Chain A
Amino acid sequence: MELKLPIYLDNNATTPMDPRVLEAMLPYFTENFGNAASRNHSFGWVAEEAVDYAREQVAKLINADPKEIIFTSGATEADNLAIKGVYEMYATKGNHIITCTTEHKAVLDTCKHIEKTGGQVTYLAVQADGLIDLHELEKAITPKTVLISIMYGNNETGVIQPIREISKIARKHGVLLFTDATQAVGKIPVDVNADGIDLMAFSAHKMYGPKGVGALYVRRKNPRVKVTSQMDGGGHERGMRSGTLNVPAIVGFGKACEICMNEMATESVRLSAMRDRLENALLELEETYVNGNREHRLPHVANISFKYVEGEGLMMGFNKNIALSSGSACTSASLEPSYVLKALGLGDDLAHSSLRFGLGRFTTDEQIDFTINAVKSTVLKLREMSPLWEMFKEGVDINAIEWAHH
């Protein structure tokens, strides 16, 4: 088969929709267009039935009860609802939240918002491999702590936090555990009961479903968890999230979950084998480093720093043919590189030199071969052009130079 370009290796940003998902959705745009809240006619009943079925598909993937699934517009909304909702609902118990520095902005910025309204937030540092220190977590808990918010798998490095151990600590102290599992659900087995999760955010478009739909899992038993709604309206989703349900997207979300449920076991083996092959081939280059813990990691993610070349310049060598992301933020107004990589203790120079490879369901071996060659040859070419590489080769201590910061 001829290789079709460009190659998409940015599946942590979003995934293409599986054609089977689209097929399931299509009738719900046209003939089955009813409002799932219309109780008095067949259009409404058909829509409601479709939503109920999707809710079961979604719940099954994470071993939850369908009643514990609150549909939202995506993971960002679910993050907001979980954190603000718990903070407000449990205000009489306390006002302290614990999270960590490598969380997604949807969590970090929500926590900052809470601080502005008088709440207390502890941002745990991570270790060099990206994992949080469980002792630090336990030490941070106070009688005022109402919520621990730690992500399941990191979007930049793929590092998987020890959610079960975190849950044990949370349970021991009677604190609720929320996890943003956007990158993990559908990629690795996530079981809200075995993992001891009280609230969990995830999104359809990271698992081959449509954009604009996600869910918040809210535990109903042991303990029964409640969140204060963040939008007023018709009282949909057990009063926690008002707004007419996005029926076609929810149907697609359900189908996407069902496919992940059936195919995850084989897909994750295939993806991790391809990822490892890509990673090992690139690590043959000198001064090349994997960012984050390689054991506790999502199967489809590789984050690699190529020292002495800059990430954006590197991507330019092949971005006509390969789509991926860099930890360099040369285009952003701040010129600040990835805060996640910096939280792992990487210097700005290594953070600027990183690429994130996000493989997916439709990634092929041919695409990986092409990527290995393209990245390797660009790194070599740019190193020939890099004054830092020349200094490194001559044994000059680059850190000893007094750089003119600008």
Chain B
Amino acid sequence: MAYSDKVIDHYSNPKNVGTLDKSKTSVGTGLVGAPECGDVMRLQIEVDQESGLIKDAKFKTFGCGSAIASSSLATEWLKGKTVDQALEIDNMDIVEELNLPPVKIHCSVLAEDAIKAAINDYRVKNGLPELVAEKKGH
């Protein structure tokens, strides 16, 4: 199976690999997946408390090229968005942007889950109720 150029580009030059200080109130961390399933994503956002905008996003991913590309792309999209806008990122947008084949759609679902988990972590830390995400099958 050949990868799309965009997947290869994100894999070769991943954007925003790294770690934010998870103890900060302004940082939300999402850790999803499982080692036994062959993919684990950790996605973090840092929210500017005044503007409410996501000023930084970082990821680390254990997984195939598509999983790495999905999380790299997600961090790019997150930056500059408000938390509410970030919630609107849909896994199918990632599928479309990266030209993921059907067998790799679960990678995009995982990325969406990671975004939602990071946002929830941020919300809880800041005294907001946890959002109950609709469950996507994967």
Partners in one complex: yes
**Chain A residues within 8 Å of B, Cβ to Cβ:** 308-310, 312-313, 316-317, 328, 330-333, 335, 337, 347-349, 352, 384-390, 398, 403-406
Contact B19 A403 (CB under 8 A): no
Task: Report the minimal beta-carbon distance from A69 to chain B, rounded to whole angstroms.
Answer: 38
> Contacts A310-B62, A384-B17, A390-B19 known; A406 to B106 CB distance under 8 Å?
yes
The answer to whether the Cβ of B32 comes within 8 Å of any Cβ in the partner chain is: yes
Q: What is the minimal beta-carbon distance from B136 to any residue of chain A, in angstroms? A: 10
Cβ-defined contact, B35 with A348, below 8 A = yes
- Partner among A349, A385, A406 whose Cβ is within 8 Å of the Cβ of B35: A349
- With both beta carbons as reference points, the residue of chain A lying nearest to B8 in the complex is identified as A316
B103 touches A385 (CB 8 A): no
Write the B25-39 contact mask toward A (1 if CB under 8 angstroms, else 0): 000000111111111
- In the complex, A331 Cα to B14 Cα: how many Å? 21
Q: Which one, A312, A352, A388, contacts B65 given CB within 8 A?
A: A312
Chain B residues 35-69 with CB under 8 Å of chain A are: 35-42, 60-65, 67-68
A332: nearest residue on chain B (CB-CB)?
A: B103
Q: In the complex the two chains form, is B35's CB within 8 Å of A388's CB?
A: yes
A-B complex: 7 closest residue pairs judged by Cβ atoms: A403-B34, A348-B36, A349-B35, A387-B42, A316-B65, A387-B60, A312-B64
Tell whether, in the assembled complex, residue A309 and residue B62 are in contact, meaning their CB atoms are under 8 Å apart: yes
The answer to whether A406 touches B138 (Cβ under 8 A) is yes
Say whether B64 contacts A404, CB under 8 Å. no
Residues on A with beta carbons closer than 8 Å to the beta carbon of B113: 406
Contact code string B117-136 (vs A, CB < 8 Å = 1, else 0)? 00000000000000000000
Chain B residue, CB-CB nearest to A347:
B36
A-B contact pairs, 8 of them (CB 8 A): A349-B35, A349-B38, A387-B42, A387-B62, A398-B35, A403-B35, A405-B36, A406-B113
Q: How many Å lie between the Cα of A390 and that of B31 in the bound state?
A: 13
Contact of B1 among A331, A348, A386 (CB under 8 A): A331
B61 contacts across to A, CB distance below 8 A: 385-387
Residue of B nearest to A405 (CB): B34
CB-based contact B36/A403 at 8 Å = yes
Asked if B36 and A387 make an inter-chain contact with CB atoms under 8 angstroms apart, the answer reads: no
- Contact: A388 with B68, CB < 8 Å? no
Choose one: B35, B60, B63; the contact of A313 (CB below 8 Å): B63
B110 touches A (CB below 8 Å)? yes
Please give me the residue from chain B that is nearest to A383 by CB atom.
B62
Contacts of A404 in B (CB 8 A): 32-34
Chain A residue numbers with a CB within 8 Å of B32 are 404, 406
Contacts of A309 in B (CB 8 A): 62
Q: How many angstroms between the C-alpha atoms of A313 and B39 in the bound complex?
A: 10
Q: Which residues in window 85-130 of B have CB below 8 A to A?
A: 103, 106, 109-110, 113
* Contact of A310 with B41 in the complex, beta carbons under 8 Å: no
Q: List A contacts of B42 (CB < 8 A).
A: 387
Known: A331-B1, A390-B60, A406-B110. A310 touches B39 (CB 8 A): yes
CA of A74 to CA of B5, assembled, Å:
38
Neighbouring A residues of B138 by C-beta, 8 Å: 406
Which of B17, B60, B68 has its CB near the most chain A CB atoms (within 10 A)? B60
Choose from A335, A388, A405 the contact partner of B62 (Cβ within 8 Å).
A388
